[in-house]
Amino acid sequence: MERVMRDKKAAAIFILPAFMLFTLIIIVPVVMSIYYSTLDWNGIGRQTFIGFSNYIELLTDRDRFLPAVYHTFIIAAASVFIQLPLALLLALILASKVKGERFFITVYFIPVILSAVVIGQLWMRIYFPRGGLLNTLLINLGFMDPTRPTAWLGDVNTALGAVLVPILWQYVGYHMLLYYSGIKSLPPEIYEAARIDGAGFWQTAFKITIPLLKPVLQVSLTFCVVGSMKVFDLVRVMLTDGGPSGSGEVITTLMVRRMFYPSNRYGYGSAMAIILILMCVILYQFVAHIFRDRDKNRKGKVRYE
Amino acid sequence: MKLKRVFSILLAALMCISVMTGCLSGGDEGTDGDIVLRFWNIWGGGDANHEAVRKVINDFNASHPGVRVVVEYFENEAYKTMIRTAVAGDEVADVFSTWGAGFSRPFYEAGKLLNLDEYLNDGTLDKLYGGALNYFIYDDSVYGLTIGRNVSGFFVNTKVFEDAGAEIPATWEELVEASEKILASGKIPIMTSSRERWVIGMLFEGMVTKAVGASKVNATINKEADGGYSDPLFLEAINRLGELIDNGFINSDRAALTRDEALASFINGDAGLYYMGSWECSALEDDSSLIKGNVDWIPFPTIPGGKGAPTDFNGGAIDGLVVSANTAHPEAAAAFVKYFTENLSREGDYMPVWNTVEIDMAIRPAVFARIIEATENATDYVIWWDTFLDGDDVTIYQDALDRFVNGTITAEQFHEELKKIHP
pLDDT of residue B63: 93
At CB < 8 Å, which residues of chain A contact B?
Answer: 42-46, 63-64, 102, 105-106, 110, 113-115, 118, 127-130, 148-149, 151-156, 159, 239-241, 243-247, 256-258, 260-265
Q: Which residue of A has its CA nearest to B84?
A: A260
Minimal C-alpha gap between A162 and chain B (Å): 11
Can you tell me the distance from the alpha carbon of A117 to that of B186, in angstroms, rounded to the nearest whole number? Answer: 34
| Contact assignment for A45 to B109 by CB distance below 8 Å | yes
What b/e string do you get for B24-44 counting C-beta neighbours within 10 Å, with b at 16 or more? eeebeebeeeebebbbbbbbb
| Amino acid in the structure at residue B52 | A
Residues of chain B with pLDDT under 50: 1, 19-30
Q: Does residue B1 lie in a domain region?
A: no
Residues of A in contact with B256 (CB under 8 A): 127-129, 151-155
Across the interface, whether the CB atoms of A264 and B106 are under 8 A apart is answered: yes
Give pLDDT tens digits for A38-50: 999 988 888 999 9
The residue length of chain B stands at: 423
User: Closest to B391 (Cβ–Cβ): which among A128, A154, A262?
Assistant: A262
Q: Which stretches within B228-311 are classed as H helix?
A: 232-246, 259-267, 281-284
Measure CB to CB from residue A241 to each of B197, B261, B270 and give the nearest one: B197
Nearest-by-Cβ selection for B81 from A240, A247, A256: A256
CA pair distance B132, B323, nearest whole angstrom: 18
Confidence band, pLDDT 50/70/90 cuts, at residue A297: low
Same domain membership, residue B164 and residue B143: no
Candidate from A148, A246, A262 with C-beta closest to B394 = A262
B118: domain CATH number is 3.40.190.10
**Cα B232 versus chain centre, distance:** 28
The answer to whether residues B347 and B283 belong to one domain is no
Tell me how close the Cα of A268 comes to any Cα of chain B, in angstroms. 11
CB contact under 8 A, B87 and A44: yes
Whether B199 and B279 map to the same domain: the answer is: yes
Q: What are phi and psi of B324, to 5 degrees?
A: -70, 140
For A162, name the nearest residue in chain B, comparing CA atoms only.
B256
Residues B257 and B286 occupy one common structural domain:
yes
Structure confidence at residue B4 (pLDDT): 60
Same domain, B177 and B244: yes
For the segment A69-78, what is each residue's pLDDT rounded down to a tens digit?
999 999 999 9
CB pair distance less than 8 Å for B402 and A151: no
Q: State whether B156 and B117 are in the same domain.
A: no
Residues of chain B with Cβ-Cβ distance to A240 below 8 Å are 77, 195-196, 258
- Domain final position from B302, B332, B357: B357
Domain boundary among B306, B330, B357: B357
Q: What's phi and psi for A176, nearest 5 deg?
A: -60, -40
Is B5 part of any domain? no
Residue A305 banded pLDDT, cuts 50, 70, 90: very low
Shared domain check, B225 and B85: no
CATH code at A37-302: 1.10.3720.10
Residues 6+ apart with CB under 8 A from A184: A95
- Please tell me which of the candidates B112, B253, B394 has its beta carbon nearest to residue A129: B253
CB contact under 8 A, B256 and A152: yes
B407 chain-A contacts, CB cut-off 8 A: 156, 245
Q: Residue A257: pLDDT above 50?
A: yes
**pLDDT reading at A301 higher than 80:** no
Q: Helix or strand or coil: residue B143? A: coil
pLDDT tens digits for A191-211?
899 989 988 888 989 999 999
Is A130 within 8 Å of B265 when comparing Cβ atoms?
yes
Task: Tell me which of A47, A261, A266 to substitute to probe the interface with B (most B C-beta atoms closer than 10 Å).
Answer: A261
From CA B368, how far away is CA B370, in angstroms rounded?
5
Distance of CA B276 to the CA centre of its chain: 8
Cα separations (Å) of B409 from A159, B238, B399, B401, B413?
18, 12, 11, 9, 6
Residue A302 has pLDDT above 70, yes or no: no
* Whole-number Å distance between alpha carbons of B52 and B350: 11
Pairwise CB contact (< 8 Å): A260 & B81: yes
Contact list in A for residue B16 (CB cut-off 8 A) is none
Say whether B196 and A245 touch across the interface (CB within 8 A): no
Q: B268 and B322: one domain?
A: no
Q: What is the structure's pLDDT at B9?
A: 63
CB contact under 8 A, B399 and A263: no
Q: What is the pLDDT of residues A267-282, one digit of tens each?
A: 999 999 999 999 999 9
Cα B204 to chain center, whole Å?
15
Chain B residue with CA closest to A153: the answer is B256
Q: Which of A240, A257, A270 to mutate to test the interface with B (most CBs of B within 10 A)?
A: A240
Select from A43, A130, A244 the Cβ nearest to the Cβ of B255: A244
User: Is B142 part of any domain?
Assistant: yes
How far is A270 from A278, CA to CA, in rounded Å? 12
Residues A212/A187, Cβ–Cβ less than 8 Å: no
Chain A contacts of B194, Cβ < 8 Å?
A: 154, 244
Distance from B399 to chain A by nearest Cα, in Å?
A: 7
Its domain, for residue B76, covers: 35-149+317-357
Spatial CA neighbour of A57 closest among A278, A267, A264? A267
Task: Examine residue B30 and state whether it is found in any structural domain, yes or no.
Answer: no
Instruction: Specify whether B312 is located in the same domain as B323.
Output: no
List CB contacts of A265: < 8 A, sequence separation 6 or more. Answer: A40, A41, A42, A258, A259, B391, B392
Query: Which residues of chain B make contact with A160, given a CB cutoff of 8 A?
Result: none
Across the interface, of A115, A245, A262, the residue whose CB is closest to B14 is A115
Å between A44 CA and nearest CA of chain B: 5
DSSP string for B315-329: EES-EEEEEBTT-S-
CA dist., res. B211 & res. B214, Å (int): 9
For chain B, the domain total comes to: 2
H helices of B128-276, where? 158-164, 172-184, 197-212, 214-221, 232-246, 259-267
- What pLDDT, on a 0 to 100 scale, did the predictor assign at position B3? 55
- Give the model's pLDDT for residue B112: 94
> Model-level pTM?
0.86
CB distance B256–A129 less than 8 Å? yes
Q: Mind telling me how many Å the CA of B130 is from chain A's nearest CA?
A: 30
Residue at B4 is within a domain: no
Cβ neighbours, 10 Å, residue A62 = 8
What pLDDT score was predicted for residue B16? 53
Is B171 in a helix, a strand, or coil? strand
Cβ–Cβ of B395/A114 closer than 8 Å?
Answer: no
Asked if B254's CB is within 8 angstroms of A243's CB, the reply is no
User: Domain segments of chain A: what residues?
Assistant: 37-302
> B155 and B143 in one domain?
no
Chain B residues with CB under 8 Å of A243 CB are 255
Considering B303, B329, B357, which residue would you say is the last residue of a domain? B357
CA distance B15 to chain A (A): 10
Give me the interface pTM, i.e. the ipTM.
0.85
Q: What are phi and psi of B317, to 5 degrees?
A: -105, 80
User: Quick check: A239 and B398 CB within 8 A?
Assistant: no
* B106 chain-A contacts, CB cut-off 8 A: 42-45, 264
Best mutation target, B245, B268, B399, B402, to test chain A (most A CBs within 10 A): B399
